Amino acid sequence: MKKILTLALALTLAAASGNALAARAKCTVKAVDEKNITLTCPTSAEDFKIGQEVTIQSSKTKKAIEGC
């Protein structure tokens, strides 16, 4: 019984995680106009749909660490 329950839980989590995967792309900002940003991506944009909400995170630069 315990094995069946564990298997059912694992299958449920595997099926639900497929919807949570997000598309990723490294893009370059080409234009900024008030509330609109135009991005150019070297990869295909088929994973992104019109009207889909996306999160944009700027790339971080490494800071130099000085010693004593």
17 pLDDT more than 70: no
Using alpha carbons, select from 25, 21, 30, 14 the residue that is nearest to residue 56: 25
Q: What is the residue extent of each domain of the chain?
A: 23-47
Q: What is the DSSP letter of 65?
A: -
Average pLDDT score over residue span 20-37: 79
Among 57, 62, 67, residue whose Cα is nearest residue 27: 57
Give the chain's length. 68
For 50-62, write each residue's pLDDT tens digit: 888 888 877 777 7
Question: Does position 33 have pLDDT exceeding 80, yes or no?
Answer: yes
Find, among 15, 17, 16, 37, the residue nearest to 27 by Cα: 37
- Would you tell me how many other CB atoms lie within 10 Å of the CB of residue 61? 5
pTM to 2 decimal places? 0.43
